[in-house]
């Protein structure tokens, strides 16, 4: 069961709750726009369903409304920035704007962002860079709960550590590869649990390390208070990539890595290590444009495999979802909606 909302309705609801929790009008609008865009893009796991968690984190003191970035090191094309536990939607954009400016001036920027609260859909930041004709690569770690098991491990040791690459394609929509290094995003398990459905095999282990299809094992405490874990994608290779995200997004940014038992804190802290490259300054712009287009065209000529819609390029599913959901609306399950209403009540916002 669920109900449909327009993007505008959800933006108004979310911004009123975020504002009631202490944010400026502008911050509340930015957070709402970002979360609703995630829903529109088909990633409900990173959409308005995050609001209850954000409100709990504000009330606990782990998420700081109206915080801005602090520049810890300005080395020109080398930036170390602290997000000061501000809304990731805000400090993430501030940091990327600086990094994009440096890459436009000097050709590249290495941007280390530490201590941002949940950055949401990392593809959003790649989309900011490609809109300016820049390539961007992001390695992100997540400090909230160790919900992903290492390859051959029996319990969760790190987060869903997303990895993202954005590549502009001349005259076409960009390539935006943006995924969690777990088999699926943790938020998708919350959505499945709220809908009361099982997930496919091979994604989860329970609190005793046994395979399960019950998404609840990573959403609600299991017997003994323990949680199960998600498995990494791509076997040992995806696991290695998740570790790279922790080492770069966590250790190298200065934000820190996860190496302690789970706690009940509600804040979700992201570290993001970003590399931005300006092809125009690299001297390869002409061949980059023509070779990238030639390759993409070549891919698209592959005959569709049986029972598929044929070859797609990363970024296309999100853009298609946006076109459909802008018109058809965004469906939220009843549990997610009632949690949003309850979050509003906690901070005195009236949500109908
Ligand atoms: P996913 O498994 O849906 O994969 C998404 C990626 O695969 C996209 O780049 C998409 O364009 C591409 N894709 C999907 N179908 C395709 C097809 N048929 N052909 C070609 N490409 C295709 O994503 P996910 O792992 O569930 O991650 C969802 C979101 O969660 C991402 O935006 C990620 O940044 C976000 N996330 C954020 C955090 C955080 O802490 N901030 C943590 C984990 C994930």
* One-character DSSP codes across 203-254: SEE-TTS-EE--GGGGTS--GGG---EEPBTTHHHHHHHHHHHIIIIIIITT
- Residue 1, pLDDT above cutoff 80: no
What tens digit of pLDDT does each residue of 51-78 get? 999 999 999 999 999 999 999 999 999 9
Rg (CA), the chain: 20
Backbone dihedral angles phi then psi of residue 115, each to the nearest 5 degrees: 55, 40
Q: Retrieve residue 108's tokens.
A: 């590249």
The reply to whether 145 and 271 lie within a common domain is yes
The reply to whether 280 and 137 lie within a common domain is yes
What tens digit of pLDDT does each residue of 307-341 get? 999 999 999 999 999 999 999 999 999 999 999 99
The reply to whether 159 and 173 lie within a common domain is yes
138 lines ligand 1 (CB under 6 A): no
Average pLDDT over residues 135-150: 97
Sheet holding 229-230, edge to edge: 211-212, 204-205, 229-230
The reply to whether 161 and 81 lie within a common domain is yes
The reply to whether 56 and 86 lie within a common domain is no
Ligand 1, residue 188: give the atom nearest the CA: 26
Residue-number span of the structural domain to which 280 is assigned: 67-182+232-301
| Gap between the Cα atoms of 117 and 98, Å rounded | 18
312 lines ligand 1 (CB under 6 A): yes
126 lines ligand 1 (CB under 6 A): no
Give domain status of residue 131, yes or no.
Answer: yes
- Residue 352, pLDDT above cutoff 80: no
What tens digit of pLDDT does each residue of 89-102 get? 999 999 999 999 99
Please choose, from the candidates 340, 336, 320, the residue with its C-alpha nearest in 3D space to the C-alpha of residue 328.
320
Q: If you take atom 9 of ligand 1, which residue's CA is the nearest one?
A: 177
DSSP string, 82-104: E-TT--HHHHHHHHHHHHHHHHH
Ligand 1, residue 185: give the atom nearest the CA: 26
The reply to whether 321 and 280 lie within a common domain is no
> What's the confidence (pLDDT) of residue 204?
97
> What's the confidence (pLDDT) of residue 44?
92
38, 54, 117, 180: which to mutate for ligand 1, most atoms within 8 A of CB?
180
Tally of domains in the chain: 2
- Residue 246, pLDDT above cutoff 80: yes
Average pLDDT over residues 228-239: 97
The CATH number of residue 55's host domain is 1.10.1530.10
Give domain status of residue 223, yes or no.
Answer: no
The gap from C-alpha 22 to its chain's centroid, in whole angstroms, comes to 23
Q: Retrieve residue 291's tokens.
A: 């070779």
The reply to whether 47 and 123 lie within a common domain is no
180 lines ligand 1 (CB under 6 A): yes
119 lines ligand 1 (CB under 6 A): yes
> What's the confidence (pLDDT) of residue 285?
96
The reply to whether 326 and 240 lie within a common domain is no
Give domain status of residue 347, yes or no.
Answer: yes
> What's the confidence (pLDDT) of residue 25?
98
- Residue 278, pLDDT above cutoff 80: yes
Q: Retrieve residue 195's tokens.
A: 């809908």
The CATH number of residue 281's host domain is 3.30.1370.60
The reply to whether 170 and 275 lie within a common domain is yes
The reply to whether 10 and 79 lie within a common domain is no
| Gap between the Cα atoms of 58 and 51, Å rounded | 10
The reply to whether 259 and 346 lie within a common domain is no
- Residue 176, pLDDT above cutoff 80: yes
The reply to whether 83 and 49 lie within a common domain is no
Give domain status of residue 214, yes or no.
Answer: no
Give domain status of residue 59, yes or no.
Answer: yes
Give domain status of residue 101, yes or no.
Answer: yes
143 lines ligand 1 (CB under 6 A): no
> What's the confidence (pLDDT) of residue 190?
84
């Amino acid at each position: 069961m669920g109900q449909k909302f327009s993007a505008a309705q959800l933006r108004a609801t979310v911004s009123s709750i975020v504002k009631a929790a202490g944010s400026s009008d502008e911050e509340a609008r930015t957070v709402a726009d970002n979360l609703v865009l995630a829903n529109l893009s088909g990633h409900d796991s990173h959409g308005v369903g995050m609001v209850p968690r954000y409100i709990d984190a504000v009330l606990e003191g782990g998420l700081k409304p109206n915080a801005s970035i602090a520049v810890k090191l300005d080395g020109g094309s080398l930036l170390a920035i602290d997000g000061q536990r501000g809304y990731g939607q805000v400090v993430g954009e501030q940091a990327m704007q600086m990094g994009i400016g440096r890459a436009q001036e000097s050709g590249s920027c290495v941007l280390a962002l530490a201590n941002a609260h949940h950055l949401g859909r990392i593809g959003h930041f790649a989309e900011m860079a490609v809109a300016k004709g820049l390539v961007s690569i992001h390695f992100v770690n997540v400090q909230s709960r160790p919900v992903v098991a290492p390859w051959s491990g029996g319990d969760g040791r790190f987060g869903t550590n997303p990895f993202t690459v954005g590549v502009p394609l001349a005259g076409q929509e960009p390539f935006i590869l943006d995924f969690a290094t777990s088999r699926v995003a943790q938020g998708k398990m919350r959505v499945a649990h709220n809908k009361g459905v099982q997930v496919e095999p091979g994604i989860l282990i329970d609190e005793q390390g046994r395979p399960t299809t019950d998404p609840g094992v990573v959403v609600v405490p299991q017997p003994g208070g323990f949680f199960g874990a998600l498995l990494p994608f791509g076997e040992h290779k995806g696991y290695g990539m998740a570790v790279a995200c922790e080492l770069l997004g966590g250790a190298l940014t200065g934000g820190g890595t996860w190496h302690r038992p789970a706690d009940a804190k509600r804040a979700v802290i992201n570290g993001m290590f970003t590399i931005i490259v300006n092809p125009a300054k690299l001297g390869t712009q002409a061949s980059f444009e023509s070779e990238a287009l030639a390759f993409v065209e070549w891919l698209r000529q592959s005959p569709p495999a049986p029972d598929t819609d044929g070859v797609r390029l990363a970024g296309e599913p999100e853009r298609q979802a946006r076109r459909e959901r802008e018109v058809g609306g965004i469906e939220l399950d009843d549990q997610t909606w009632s949690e949003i209403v309850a979050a509003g009540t906690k901070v005195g916002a009236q949500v109908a």
